[in-house]
Amino acid sequence: MKHFIITVYGKVQGVSFRAATKAIADQLSIKGFVRNQVDGSVYIEAEGDQFSINYLVDWCKEGPDTAVVEKVDVSEGEIKNYLNFEIVKKHRI
């Protein structure tokens, strides 16, 4: 089990990036969350096996058809044992 923190930059808000990320995460049995950031980026915490996380990271480099991804930052974090994958509606500070 791995825990990755993924931040996606570019035209990634208002293009269904969060909904598409949730759909991919659910298909891959990835747990965690996705939320929009105040700076226009999308922030993801994802937990799953190495293959699934790698697939999600690769997908984030393209995103949904309407997104324009400029950069993706990825780092590893501590396991938090999320129970599901959620779209978080509000910004967290």
Indicate which residues carry an active-site annotation.
Answer: 18, 36
The amino acid sitting at 14 is: G
Pairing of strands 2-11, 68-76: antiparallel
Q: How many residues does the chain have?
A: 93
Please list the helix, strand and coil fractions of the chain in percent, rounded to the nearest 5, in that order: 25, 40, 40
Contact between 20 and 60 under an 8 Å Cβ cutoff? The reply is: no
